[in-house]
Amino acid sequence: KPLVFSGVQPTGNLHLGNYLGAIRKFVALQESHDCIYCVVDLHSITAQLVHDDLPGQTRSITAAFLAAGIDPTKHIVFNQSRVRQHAELAWVFNCVARIGWMNRMTQFKDKAGKDRENASLGLLAYPSLMAADILVYRATHVPVGDDQKQHLELTRDIAAKFNNDFSAKIGDLGLGVEMEVGEETVNGFFPLTEPLIEGPATRVMSLRDGSKKMSKSDPSDLSRINLTDDADAISKKIKKAKTDPEPLPSELAGLKARPEAENLVGIYAALSDKTREAVIAEFGGQQFSAFKPALADLAVDRLAPIAAEMRRISADTTYVDGVLRDGAERAEVIAEATMKGVREIIGLLND
């Protein structure tokens, strides 16, 4: 089976974008893939070092994974900092990647803002740690939202440069498989990982501004639906969602240049497992005053059971901690096998 890896940061409340863009796909991939799902706590200290309750946030994301339907007995669920090989490989990748590659990352530019000189070195190196998260398991597929596309391209660039720089050594040690990189055939130790970015909700937008993605850090709580919101909050937020005065179009093409309408149709499609065409066929010509209540009912129907399950699982801290510890032990076996190879290839002395 192909190997899937993905992660979510323990920063703030999970929202509908995290769910539709990532977590729901994590669940779906369990049938066909071996999966490793990680709460990436080391990533959460890149933008802000001190958090009020990082252990609680880590457990809460874990509870969300489990409540959504991830099975920790068949797959691996753990927190990143427990498996030290992530940080070790990230250091190696800091020496593989170029500063120019990192400076071009749009997420770094957005999060660092104007005062770039004052951003943490960790924020700049964030994609290097993300590449390590994925490649320490030599994962071949990564389900993510559209905002992570550029980081996945960089992960491939890091893998390709490592494979190329150490091609002869990888061949001599018999640690590689032959793979094409551009015009060349190299002895690849790391796979060129594919992102899985599909479906109608790969970039869920803010409910208050159709040009901004739904985000945990948006100061307005009305901009997002949190996975822990109750039915009243979900209905209120959808009712208040920004829209234009026109009814929904009768053709998909009519959503062009109507970002808020397009976003709500995409959310409805994803939650109902329909195509956007099917949603337009059903609601085309109707006013938002008719569409919004239908969307609110659907969202409550899909999210309320997850919220209830999250509350139930979160109450059992011993269980959640046990899942994370057990997952980390299993993850470490795979990660250490990769690192043994990396140390040998580079020339670092293994025990």
Minimal CA–CA distance to 142: which of 107, 71, 192, 194? 194
- Considering the complex, what minimum distance in angstroms separates the CB of residue 156 from ligand AQP? 17
In the complex, which residues of this chain contact ligand AQP (CB under 6 A)? 8-9, 11, 17-18, 21-22, 144-145, 147-148, 202-204, 213-217
- Cα separation of 251 and 79, whole Å? 45
- Cα separation of 294 and 61, whole Å? 28
Annotated binding residues for ATP, written as ranges, equal 9-11, 17-18, 145-147, 204, 213-217
- Considering the complex, what minimum distance in angstroms separates the CB of residue 166 from ligand AQP? 30
Residue 111 among the catalytic residues:
yes
174: left (phi over 0), alpha (psi -120 to 50) or beta: left
Phi and psi at 4, nearest 5°, equal -105, 135
Minimal CA–CA distance to 18: which of 192, 290, 185, 218? 218
Minimal CA–CA distance to 327: which of 11, 141, 54, 61? 61
Annotated catalytic residue within 169, 216, 242, 274: 216
Annotated binding residues for L-tryptophan, written as ranges, equal 133
- Considering the complex, what minimum distance in angstroms separates the CB of residue 111 from ligand AQP? 7
In the three-class reduction of DSSP (H, G, I as helix; E, B as strand; rest coil), residue 143 is classed as: strand
- Cα separation of 220 and 205, whole Å? 13
- Considering the complex, what minimum distance in angstroms separates the CB of residue 272 from ligand AQP? 17
Residue 161 among the catalytic residues:
no
Which is nearer to ligand AQP, 170 or 307 (by Cβ)?
Answer: 307
CA angle 213, 218, 224 (to 5 degrees): 65
Residue 242 among the catalytic residues:
no
Q: Point out the residues that are catalytic.
A: 111, 213, 216
